[in-house]
Chain A
Amino acid sequence: MSNHVGQITGVSGNLLRVRFHEPVVQNEVAYAHLGEVTLKSEVIRIRGDEAELQVFEDTRGLQIGGEVEFTGELLAVELGPGLLTQVFDGLQNPLPRLAEQCGFFLQRGTYLQALERDKEWAFTPAVKVGDTVTAGATLGTVPEGIFKHRIMVPFGWRGKFEVLEVAEAGNYTLDESIARLKSETGREAQVTLVQRWPVKVPIQAYAERLRPTEPLTTKVRIIDTFYPVARGGAYCIPGPFGAGKTVLQQIISRHADVDIVIVAACGERAGEVVETLREFPELEDPRTGRSLMERTLIICNTSSMPVAAREASVYTAVTIAEYYRQMGLHVMLLADSTSRWAQALREVSGRLEEIPGEEAFPAYLESVIAAFYERGGVVRLHDGGIGSVTIGGTVSPAGGNFEEPVTQSTLKVVGAFLGLSRERSDQRRYPAIHPLESWSKYPGVVPEEAARRARTILRQGNEVNQMMKVVGEEGTSIEDFVVYLKAEYLDAVYLQQDAFHEVDAATGAERQSYVFERLGHILDAPLKFPDKDAARAFFQQLTQTTKDWNRVLQDDPEFAKIEQTMTKMVAEVSADE
C-alpha cells in the first residue's frame, strides 16, 4: 500500500473533503482512518489540493484533520474460481464469512478477501511451454461446480506472451503461480488462479461483438411469446411499487435458459435477497439436476447498506458477469433496482453541488445508464467460442410515472420493454406486464405472424371494452362482445401465469408453441351464441378448463384429456356446424 496520507478538511454525509500532497488519481481508492478501523472510500472529484471522496461506510465519528490513506488503485474486484454460490456486498465482501466474524450486524471497516485463500483447486493445463498467448487466453481450467472455470491471461496485459512455464495438473491454491509468461519486451510475469479488475472498466478481451438474435427463454409466457428477451440483449422492467418487478426477476432467475445468473440486489429489501439465499440451495436446476445455487451469485447492497457501495454494486456485478462470459458461458445479470443506483448517483451529485438536471438527477445520468447496459452483449471470443451477458434491470419510477429520467434513459438503450401496470397488478393479473404497451425488438418462440394476430385480438378486445364503458353491453354487438371475451380469455389463460404453482409457474418454449397454436385455433374459430350471457358463461367455463390444463404436466395423461374436452367445448359452439 502507498504511504500517501492526506487530511480531512470537511465531512458532510458520506462525502469527505481531503487535502492531499502527492498526485492522486480520479476514482482511486482511499481509506479514512477512524480509531482502529479504516473506511473504504473512492475519489470522485479533485479540485486544487483537495479531493472529494465518497465513503462506502457510515461516516459517524470522523473528524477534521483525520488521516486518509490513498492507495493509487482503482476500485477493483477479484476474479477467480469460487465466485459462484457466493453472496457478496457491493464491494465484494463475502457476507456469510463477515457474519461469522462480526455476528448479526455489518461492522463498518471490516473487509475480507472475496475468495477463500486456502481452498485448493484441481488445475488442468491447456497450454504448453513455448505457446504464444494474449490477454484472455486460457492457460488451463479448474472445475467449479458444474463449470470448467478457465484460468486466463489477465485481461489487462497488452501484447503477445510466450509461455515459459506452466504448472502440471494438480491442486493449487488461489495465489499459487500456475504459469510464467514472457512479454515481447522480455518482461516476465506470473499468473495465479486469481486476477483483479477495476469494476468501472469493461473487459474487452474478445474478437468481436455480435448482434443478439437468439431467443433466451424465461418460461414466462407473456415474455417468450410476446415480448421476448435475447441472449446478450437487454431488457428493463419499469413499474410502480408492488407491481411485481422483483417477483418477475426472481422467476426469471430460476428459469432463464442461461449458464449463470448474477443477482444484483441494489438498494432494495434485504428480505428479498434472503429468499433467494435460503431457497436456491434447495431448488433443483432442471437443466443440470443440481442445486440452483451452483449457477448463481448474489451481489447485495440492500437499501439500508451504505449508499456509495450501492453505486459500486452494479459495477461489481457486471464485471463478474463479463468474467464468466470470457469462459464462453451465457450469463444473465438481473439488477433490482437500477433506480436506486441512479438515486445513489443523485445523492452524491447533490453533495458535490453539481448543477442538477431533471428531478435533481445529474446531467450525465443518461450516459452512465447507457454505458452500463453497453456492457451486456454477445461476443465471439478469440478462441471462436461464444459468450454472452444479458442484462435485465428493473426501474422504480417516482409515482409510477414512466415519464421520468431513469425510465426514459433506460428505454433508449434496451431491446425489450416490459412495462408493469398498476391497473393489472391491482386486478391481480400477474405477471402485470402491460400487454399492449410493452415492446421488444427481439425474436420470440412462436411465429411472429401468430403473435401479431393474438396481439390484434388483445387490442380489439380492449377497444370493445373501452367502447362498452361508453355505450354499455346492450349497445355492443354480440360479435364485438365475443371479440372482447376472446381477448379476456387469452389474457386469463396465457398472459397470466401463476408464479406459485408448480407447473404453471414455468412454461418451456416447446409447450408455449404447442399451447399457443391450440389457443390460436380457438381464437380464430367463428363462434355462435344465442345471447351474451351464454357467451360469457361459455368463456368462463372454457377459462376454467384451460387453467386446469395449464396446471398439469404436458406428459400427464390428464393433459390430453383436458385438451379433448376443450376441443369438444369449442366444437359445440362453432359457427361452422
Chain B
Amino acid sequence: MNNKVYHRIEEVAGNVITLRADGVRYQELAEVESPQGASLAQVIRLAGDRVSLQVFAGGRGIPTDAKVRFLGHPMETSFSEALLGRVFTGSGQPRDRGPRLTENMIEIGGPSVNPAKRIIPRNMVRTGIPMIDIFNTLVESQKLPIFSVAGEPYNPLLARIALQAEVDVIILGGMGLKHDDYLYFRETLEEQGALARSVLFVHTAADPTVECLMVPDICLAVAEQFALKNERVLVLLTDMTNFADAMKEIAITMEQIPSNRGYPGDLYSQLAARYEKAVDFDSAGSITILAATTMPGDDVTHPVPDNTGYITEGQFYLRNGRIEPFGSLSRLKQQVNGATRDDHRTIMNTMIQLYAGYKETLEKQSMGFRMSAWDSKLLVYGERFEQEMMDLSVNIPLETALDRGWAMLADCFEPAETGIASKLINQFWPKAHAETPDNGRQEERNHLEAVASSD
C-alpha cells in the first residue's frame, strides 16, 4: 500500500481527475480532500505514471492542489445483519441516523457465478396481479425490468410487488431517485412492517452522479451475501436509465467513442454484469431483480431499454397505468406455469390472442367499418378484459384469475371460437354457462373473490 499523499492534480475534466503517481492499482480507491470536503474516488485508467480517477462527489470545486491519498483497496461495503432496516448512500455512507458500519468489509462488483452452480428457476413469485400471475408469471431469480414512460406509477408497482412477494430480504437501489419517491419507499416499507427486512441504498437526483454508478454493484454485492446465507432476496433497482446515463457521462468525459446516441459501446456488457447477478444458487438462496427502466420519449428502441431487453428475462410494459399485454413478457413463465394448473397456459395464450383480435377490431371501428358479428363479440370481450384483468387495482390469486378468465370466455364466445383444444374445453368450459345478465356476473365474481380470499 502506498501512503504517500499527492497534491498536484494535472487535469480535471467533468468528474475525472488525473495526476501522476506510482504503485497505484487499477480500480483502487482514493480519498480526495478539497475545501468542499472529502470524497472517495476510483482509479479508472493507468497510463505510465498518469492515473485517472473518477471522483464520487464530482469534479466541481476541486482545486489542483487537492490532496489525494490512495487506499490500496477497491470499493467495498460492510456486510452483516446490521444492514437490515438501514438506509445508505450510493457509496455506502449512512443516510439515516444510524452508525457507520465498518466490520466484515466485502468487495463489490465481484466475479460472476459459475453457470454450473446455477439451477433452473422453479418457484413462482405470486403477486396477485393477473397481468403478471397469469400472463407473465414472475419467477424467483428472474431479472425483469419495468419499461415505463416517466410519470407512470412504476415505483408504486415495484413497492407493491415487493410487499406481496414472499421474499426474505428486500434491497432497494435508488438511482437518481426523486426525494419524494425515496420517502415513499421508506414509508411504505415501514407501514407494511417490511423495513426491518430491507436495506436501502439511495442515490437521489440531488446527489453526485458518480455515486449513482455504485448503487447496483453495492446492492447486488449485499444481495449475494444474503443469498449465500440461504435467503431469498429481492433487489429493486430504480431507475436503471439514470445509471446508464451516469455511465454515458463518464464515457464522454473519458473521450470514449460512443456507439449509439452517445452511449458507450460496452453498455450491454455493463448492464449485463449487473442483471446477471440474479441467480438461483445450487443449494443456497436466490436473487431476483426487478428494475425500473424509463424510456426516453416512450421509445423502446432507445439504447437503454433496447440493451436491457436483450439482457433481462422479459419485461413488463407499463402504459397508462396498466401492464400492457403486448410487449410484456416473462421468459421464465414456462418454467412454472406448467405446474400451476392445467389450464394456465391455455388461458394465457387464448385470452391474449383474443385481446389482439379486439385491438384489430378497434382499429377497424375507428376507420368506420361495419362491425361483423365476430367484431361485436370481440368488442365486449376486450372491454371486459381491460377492466377485469388488466386494471392494476385487481388483486386476486392466480386460481381466481383463471376462473375469471373462463367465465369471461364463456360469456363472450362459443368454445370453437376460442381455438382451445377440445380436451380442455371439456374439462374447464363453465358447463351451465348461459348468458347471465351483467349484475349476475358481478355477483359471481364477488363470490369467487370471497372464496379466494377466505383461504
Contact = CB atoms under 8 A, between A and B. Distances in A.
B6 interface: no
B281 interface: yes
Given A61-B26, A63-B23, A273 B256 contact: no
Interface stretch (B98-106, B117-125, B201-209, B434-442): B117-125
A187 interface: no
Contacts of B331: 242
A95 interface: yes
Contacts of B315: 242
Contact of A95 (B45, B115, B260): B115
A159 interface: no
Contact of A347 (B112, B116, B269, B277): B269
B372 A533 contact: yes
Contact of B114 (A59, A99, A492): A99
Interface string A256-279: 000000000001011101110111
Contacts of B26: 11, 59-63
Contacts of A9: 47-48
A497 B26 CA distance: 52
Nearest to B281: A104
Contacts of B367: 469-470, 472
Interface in B323-349: 326-327, 329, 331-332, 334, 338, 345, 349
B319 to A, nearest CB: 14
Contacts of A59: 26-27
A401 interface: yes
A529 interface: no
Interface string A534-561: 0011001101100110010000000000
Contacts of A329: none
Nearest to A96: B116
Contact of B115 (A302, A426, A472, A533): A302
A543 B112 contact: no
Interface string A293-309: 00000001011110100
B314 to A, nearest CB: 7
Interface string A43-75: 000000000000000111111110000000000
Contacts of A536: 372, 374
Contact of A360 (B120, B257, B269): B257
A547 B421 contact: yes
B114 A399 contact: no
Given A307-B269, A347-B266, A400-B301, A104 B48 contact: no
A108 interface: yes
B95 interface: no
Interface string B247-276: 000000000111110001110110011001
B29 to A, nearest CB: 11
A540 B419 contact: yes
A532 interface: yes
A12 interface: yes
Q: Place the interface of chain B in its size category.
A: 35 or more
B289 to A, nearest CB: 12
A277 B115 contact: yes
Contacts of B22: 64-65
B71 interface: no
B115 A64 contact: no
Nearest to A472: B369
A536 B112 CA distance: 54
A530 to B, nearest CB: 13
A427 interface: yes
Nearest to A298: B115
B82 interface: no
Contacts of A274: 115, 118-120
B432 interface: no
A14 B366 CA distance: 56
A103 interface: yes
A541 B416 contact: yes
B335 to A, nearest CB: 8
A304 B276 CA distance: 6
B113 A398 contact: no
A283 interface: no
B285 to A, nearest CB: 11
B27 A60 contact: yes
B133 to A, nearest CB: 18
A106 B111 contact: yes
A122 interface: no
Interface stretch (B168-176, B304-312, B394-402, B404-412): B304-312
A8 B22 CA distance: 12
Contacts of A398: 260, 301, 303, 306
Contact of B268 (A343, A426, A427): A343
A372 interface: no
Contact of B112 (A8, A270, A540): A270
B114 A360 contact: no
Contacts of A278: 119-120
Given A60-B27, A99-B116, A398-B260, A340 B48 contact: no
A95 B116 contact: yes
B156 interface: no
B194 interface: no
Interface in A97-128: 98-99, 102-108
Interface in A328-377: 340, 343, 346-347, 350, 353, 356, 359-361
A396 interface: yes
A285 interface: no
Contacts of B273: 303-304
Contacts of B260: 359-360, 398
Contacts of B364: 469, 472-473
Given A108-B111, A274-B119, A303-B272, A10 B46 contact: yes
A350 B274 CA distance: 22
Given A60-B26, A64-B22, A303-B268, A103 B117 contact: yes
B422 A543 contact: no
A12 B47 CA distance: 8
A426 B117 contact: no
A52 B283 CA distance: 42
Contacts of B420: 544
Contacts of A532: 372
Contact of A548 (B117, B338, B422): B422
B284 interface: yes
Most B-side CB within 10 Å, residue of A304, A343, A541: A304
15 contacts: A9-B48, A11-B45, A62-B26, A87-B116, A105-B114, A241-B306, A242-B331, A269-B311, A270-B276, A302-B115, A350-B257, A398-B301, A533-B374, A544-B419, A548-B422
The 5 closest A-B pairs by CB, nearest first: A472-B369, A399-B301, A303-B272, A304-B276, A241-B309
Given A11-B45, A96-B116, A105-B114, 8 more contacts: A58-B111, A61-B74, A64-B24, A104-B228, A105-B112, A303-B269, A492-B419, A547-B419
